Homo-oligomer: A and B are copies of this chain.
Amino acid sequence: METNYSKYVKQLSKIADLEHSMAVLHWDKEVNLPKNGAAMRGQQLATLAGITHELSVDDNFGNLLQELTQNGEELSFKEKRNVEITFENYNKEKKLSKEFVEKRSLITTNCYQAWLDARAANDYAVFEPALNEMVELKKEETRLLGFKEHPYDILMDEFEKGATVKQFDKLFEDVKTKLVTFVKKLNEKPQVEDAFLRLKFDKDKQWNYGLELLQTMGYDFDAGRQDLSPHPFTISFGAEDVRVTTRIDEHNFANMAWSCIHEGGHGLYEQGLPSSEYGLPSGKYLTLGIHESQSRLWENNVGRSLSFWKGQYENLQNTFPEQLSKVSLKEFYKAINKVEPSLIRTESDELHYHLHILIRYELEKALIEGSLSTKDLKSAWNAKYKDYLGLEIRDDNHGILQDIHWSHGSLGYFPTYSLGSFYAAQFFHIIKKDTPNIIDQIESGDTSAVLSWLRTNIHAYGQTYNVDDLCKKTTGETLDFTFFMNYIEDKYSKIYDL
């Protein structure tokens, strides 16, 4: 017999099929698309997006959700949560008129094109009018969606359900005081040597070594694959087909290696989501912050640790004897953890990284509040880089034009990157506490206990618990910045002999 809940599952499964189909088209666009195919591919994606949207805001579906909510007593805890989350999303989506959604799509297309043009011209002035239009649109969106305390809250909510300015102001206050103070101390110490990381590392060998890294982490190649793309990313077509991409620069080994590990971390999360919950909130990643916690945990807490390389370095030296046979493990470890302020967010070390995010957070908040205009944005950007990182911005491409996010209208996205690192530190602290021999295991080359903990405590739940509840359930408390500071202070005091 078909119950309301099974009807609901069917509809979500259909929507998921469409979303994953879009994901395939998107992946193919980034990995395979011949030059002339872009326009038609854009149109095909738009058609699928339109159909998906129609299914998601369908009135009959709304009625079904209403009925399920009213008769929720027949449902299990997980089922109730699923319906609750879907109904929330439904009601949110319903607040945006078709006209607004179409306008948004148009403005986004224009804004992205303006960003491309501005990048080509290396000139923010080319981007500014379109960005201004985008910011006004996002302000309208905050009004349509409604917000309780701060309009930026509802923008962050899109990427990190429940995130608030109140929470982030506190978090970034810690970044500004504790982290900045610590980083200043490091910057006064003699610098470590990392020139050997920019020797020539053969492309094919790098490719194969990247695959080995993924295998070491436990990434399942029967349920995924790696390909090359200009910007590395992870994408899921369902838990049984989760793909990662990487890029290879023959003179930047670190770029390939830690991008592999980073995307591998994202990939493991998606492969670990319960495929029995296909399309349901309980089968989907929780928030972008939690997604990023998975990639950062593998990239930094595991992948830039001395223990990990104790288990891996001999193999790496054997793969690249010319470049590394004379480099000791300790020298290698220091090099891959070099701390140095730099202009580009994505090339930053794991400490300065959060200053890049802090800057973007403050600027976005001010734009949405209306206390900063896009006209003044560039000078504000440049001033903050001088202030927080001590750097002069050379040109717009190395400054305000470096990120794609604003051109897509993804305001409220950046803070989730920092959140990911902070959650990662807290999770990894507990993993070590929960698993007595874990460091020995990692040093012997076996990271399976890390994956196993993440599978059980994070991946298996999907969205069944909200972020705070999940964090409490798995670590005993909600997010606490202290874990990150402890991790950083302990690690870098040793590397820089503080």
Residues of A within 8 A of B (CB): 13-14, 17-18, 20-21, 24-25, 28, 32-37, 39-41, 43-44, 46-48, 51, 220-225, 237-238, 240-241, 275, 278
21 residue pairs A–B, Cβ–Cβ below 8 Å: A14-B47, A17-B44, A17-B46, A18-B47, A18-B48, A20-B44, A21-B47, A21-B48, A34-B222, A34-B225, A34-B240, A36-B223, A36-B241, A37-B241, A39-B240, A40-B237, A40-B238, A40-B278, A41-B241, A44-B238, A51-B51
* B25–A21 CB distance below 8 A: yes
Q: A34-B221, A36-B241, A37-B237 are in contact. List 17 more A-B contacts (CB 8 A).
A: A14-B47, A17-B44, A17-B46, A17-B48, A21-B21, A21-B25, A24-B28, A24-B44, A34-B223, A34-B225, A35-B222, A36-B222, A36-B240, A37-B223, A37-B238, A40-B238, A40-B241
Bound form: Cα–Cα A482–B48 in Å: 49
A18 contacts which chain B residues (CB < 8 A)?
Answer: 47-48, 51
Bound form: Cα–Cα A380–B40 in Å: 48
A43 contacts which chain B residues (CB < 8 A)?
Answer: 13, 17
Bound form: Cα–Cα A225–B28 in Å: 12
Report whether over half of chain A's contact residues are helix, strand or loop; otherwise say mixed: helix
Bound form: Cα–Cα A398–B354 in Å: 65
Bound form: Cα–Cα A35–B224 in Å: 8
A40 contacts which chain B residues (CB < 8 A)?
Answer: 20, 237-238, 240-241, 275, 278
Pairs A-B, 5 closest by C-beta atoms: A37-B241, A17-B47, A40-B238, A36-B240, A35-B222
A17 contacts which chain B residues (CB < 8 A)?
Answer: 43-44, 46-48
A220 contacts which chain B residues (CB < 8 A)?
Answer: 36
A46 contacts which chain B residues (CB < 8 A)?
Answer: 17
Q: Which of chain B's residues has its CB closest to A39's CB?
A: B240
* A32–B240 CB distance below 8 A: no
A32 contacts which chain B residues (CB < 8 A)?
Answer: 225
A237 contacts which chain B residues (CB < 8 A)?
Answer: 37, 40-41, 44
Bound form: Cα–Cα A48–B24 in Å: 13
CB distance from A14 to the nearest CB of B (A): 6
Bound form: Cα–Cα A43–B240 in Å: 13
* B33–A241 CB distance below 8 A: yes
A44 contacts which chain B residues (CB < 8 A)?
Answer: 17, 20-21, 24, 237-238
CB distance from A4 to the nearest CB of B (A): 21
CB distance from A19 to the nearest CB of B (A): 10
Bound form: Cα–Cα A240–B14 in Å: 29
CB distance from A124 to the nearest CB of B (A): 32
Bound form: Cα–Cα A48–B278 in Å: 17
Q: Which of chain B's residues has its CB closest to A18's CB?
A: B47
A224 contacts which chain B residues (CB < 8 A)?
Answer: 34
Bound form: Cα–Cα A280–B264 in Å: 43
CB distance from A244 to the nearest CB of B (A): 12
CB distance from A18 to the nearest CB of B (A): 7
Q: Which of chain B's residues has its CB closest to A31's CB?
A: B32
Bound form: Cα–Cα A241–B34 in Å: 7
A35 contacts which chain B residues (CB < 8 A)?
Answer: 222-223
Bound form: Cα–Cα A224–B33 in Å: 8
Q: Which of chain B's residues has its CB closest to A239's CB?
A: B40
